[in-house]
Amino acid sequence: MTGPGWRARVFLGSLLGVTSPVRTWTPLLGAEVLLEPGACLDLSVDPTHELGVLVDTGAVQVGGQHTRRQELA
């Protein structure tokens, strides 16, 4: 799926109205999100889940926290 300045691929669970065909026995979510410089994407996720964002390249801001390459937010 795509939007202004971003592309996403869900490989486990459901996000942005898309559900992965991969069967899981516990509620998991895994997605790759590619952002163009300056892009903003607000995601609705289950607040009862433990959440993390691993930055592969570049830098992102997650919940007001600046996160750089190879850091986990």
pLDDT at 51: 86
Domain that holds residue 29: 2-68
Residue found under tokens 């459901």:
14
pLDDT at 3: 93
Number of independent structural domains in the chain: 1
Q: Which residues of the chain have pLDDT under 50?
A: none
Q: What is the pTM of this model?
A: 0.80
**Gap between the Cα atoms of 53 and 66, Å rounded:** 11
**Gap between the Cα atoms of 20 and 17, Å rounded:** 10
Residue 67, classified by CB atoms within 10 Å of its CB into exposed (0-12), middle (13-18) or buried (19+), is middle
Strand partners, 8: 33
Tell me, yes or no, whether 17 lies in a domain: yes
Tell me, yes or no, whether 73 lies in a domain: no
Tell me, yes or no, whether 13 lies in a domain: yes
pLDDT at 5: 95
